[in-house]
Amino acid sequence: MFFRFKRTIYPLFVPAGLIIFSALVIWKWPDLMQKVNGVKEVKAVLVILPVLPYVVFFIGIIMGWRYDNTGMMLASLTLAVSYLALSRFMLGNLPEEVIGPSILETVTFLLPLNLAIFTMLTKRRIFTSTGVLCVFLILLQISAVILFCFPAHPTCSQLLSKMDSVSPDAATKLTGFLTGLRSFLHDRSFIKYDNVSTLSVLAYAFALFFVLIRFLLRRDAIMAGFLGVIVATFLGVTAGGPEPAYMIYFSAAGLILIVTSIEASFSMAYVDELTGLPGRRSLNQTLINLGKKYSIAMIDIDHFKKFNDRYGHKTGDQVLKMVASKLRGMSGGAKIFRYGGEEFTAIFPGKSVEDAIPHLQEYRESMESSPFVVRSKIRRKSTSKNRGKSKLSGVKRAKVTVSIGVAELDKNHTNPEKVLKAADRRLYKAKKAGRNRVKS
């Protein structure tokens, strides 16, 4: 339970921290400006400060390209386009000829919906049918915004004039549609925000709920990052007022994408995806930093290959998850790693073999007394109402046991690599002796 809670909360630290820091900067901004009012160097930096979000977004686009993360790349691109539009029209600085929906209302409606869609592209490359389609949809949205928000712009005006000459009725209907669309997007009858319409707030609420569900299912840094981006951009567009409110919040949104992407890459390198345990690379790093007293145990699932062949690889994966789950609860302050395949490693810092054996025995007995339920194919295909009514829809209980070898740092095993090899040899002896036992 604690591990699940940790997996849920930990990825949210970076997004929450950056959002809180941004809010503090905005809150203290007038005081900061007074303190640096006479400093020419700081004033020079403040002049180029509005460019900072574009730098952040550009880095996000490059990282998304490099990591084959289309979701991150398109999200950074969309944030850049949205920031460009909002920086020009945030304070209602709209041209008089606008008769359709405003830039502010249109962007704040489309932005969260796009961000929600991009969460489904985080593991896809850009040059796939889905990636190319999403790029096309972004370009289509930009074209539609230009047409609908600036129908009196010279280019759009020429297009409408040609349409009017070809079909006056269609041109009249388009103008009426734009007027109605503006009224629809401008509605603030339910939720009172100066810069955001009710429809935009509902779009943000939907996007937040959608991404939250995906985060709870995956519990990874990338989904946590998208949650933070949605919250940060919402705070940015609802803050109103002069700079730097939306500038800082949008910069924070871009930084959240970058930092959580780096964190996700680190997790992929150091954490085993199937079991959620630290992997081989993390083990190697831990071995380098051990002190002068420790013991290492190698743990192997008995008859795992036969179990895998009999019940299938998916069931075998469930066994690995079960073993890993119980390993997390091992007492004695053990640090647990997935070594590879069906093998795991437990390191007991500051403990001898004699100290570690009771904790290993406790774990071995816990595994022996916890039968693993194997659901039959018939059960998986049956409905919930029919389950349990037929003998064919029952379940099988399989016994999962482990063999363990443990060794410590001593005069014969003078470094972590030798201790690890000694533990592996003793694991082999445990298997030769009949399995389901601890050998030291």
320 and 245 inside one domain: no
Is the whole model's pTM more than 0.85, yes or no? no
Name the pLDDT band for 45 (thresholds 50, 70, 90): low
pLDDT at 176 over 60: no
> Would you say residue 192 has pLDDT above 70?
no
265-296: pLDDT as tens digits: 887 778 888 888 898 889 988 898 888 899 99
The percentage of the chain sitting over the pLDDT mark of 70, rounded to a whole number, equals 76
At residue 395, the pLDDT reads 61
Question: Does residue 294 sit in the same domain as residue 385?
Answer: yes
Do 289 and 245 reside in the same domain of the chain?
no
CATH number at residue 409: 3.30.70.270
- The reply to whether 360 falls in a domain is yes
Q: Which of the four pLDDT bands, split at 50, 70 and 90, describes residue 141?
A: confident
78/15 same-domain check: yes
Residue 284 counted as domain residue:
yes
Mean pLDDT over the full length of the chain: 81
* DSSP one-letter code for 191: S
Nearest to 291 by CA among 347, 353, 336: 347
Number of structural domains (the chain) is: 2
If asked whether residues 84 and 133 sit together in one domain, one would say yes
Domain assignment present for residue 11? The answer is yes
How would residue 429 be classed by pLDDT, with cut points 50, 70 and 90?
very high
Mean pLDDT of 69-79: 92
Q: Tell me: do 149 and 213 sit in the same domain.
A: yes
In a domain, 162, yes or no: yes
- Which of 238, 270, 302 is a domain's end point? 270
Residue 275 forms part of a structural domain:
no
Exposure letters 46-55 (e unless 16+ CB within 10 A, then b): eeeeeebbbe
Same domain, yes or no: 415 and 293: yes
pLDDT at 180 over 70: no
Among 217, 244, 270, which residue terminates a domain?
A: 270
Burial 142-181 (b: 16+ CB within 10 A, else e): eeebebbbbbebeebeeebeeeeeeeeeebeebeeebeeb
Domain containing 292 equals: 280-439
Residues 258 and 188 in one domain: yes
User: Which segment of 19-28, 153-162, 420-429 scores lowest on mean pLDDT?
Assistant: 153-162
Clarify whether residues 316 and 388 are in a common domain. Answer: yes
Domain endpoint, select from 221, 249, 270: 270
Question: Mean pLDDT across the stretch 335-359?
Answer: 92
Q: Looking at the structure, do residues 103 and 247 belong to the same domain, yes or no?
A: yes
CA distances (Å), origin 129, targets 67, 121, 125, 136: 18, 12, 9, 11
334 in the same domain as 256: no
pLDDT at 126 over 90: no
Nearest to 226 by CA among 208, 245, 206: 208
pLDDT tens digits for range 292-346: 899 999 999 998 888 888 888 888 888 898 899 899 889 888 999 999 889 999 9
pLDDT at residue 154 greater than cutoff 60: no
Instruction: Give Cα 363 distance to the centre of its chain.
Output: 33
Rounded distance between C-alpha atoms, residue 345 and residue 294, angstroms: 13
- Band (pLDDT 50/70/90 cuts) for residue 93 is very low
At residue 361, does pLDDT exceed 60? Answer: yes
Task: Look at residue 394 and tell me if it is in a domain.
Answer: yes
Least confident stretch, 60-64, 84-88, 142-146: 142-146
What confidence tens digit (pLDDT) does each residue in 367-410 have?
988 888 776 554 444 454 554 454 444 567 778 899 999 999 98
Query: What average pLDDT score do residues 187-203 get?
Result: 71
- pLDDT tens readout for residues 199-254: 888 899 999 999 999 999 888 889 999 999 999 999 988 876 556 788 899 999 99
Active-site positions read 342
Quick one: pLDDT at residue 35? 73
Amino acid residing at 436: N
Same domain, 8 and 110: yes
Q: Is 234 part of any domain?
A: yes
61-92 burial, b at 16+ Cβ within 10 Å, e below that, comes to bebbeebbbbbbbbbbbbbbbbbebbbebbee
91 pLDDT more than 50: no
Q: Distance between CA 37 and CA 40 in Å, rounded?
A: 8
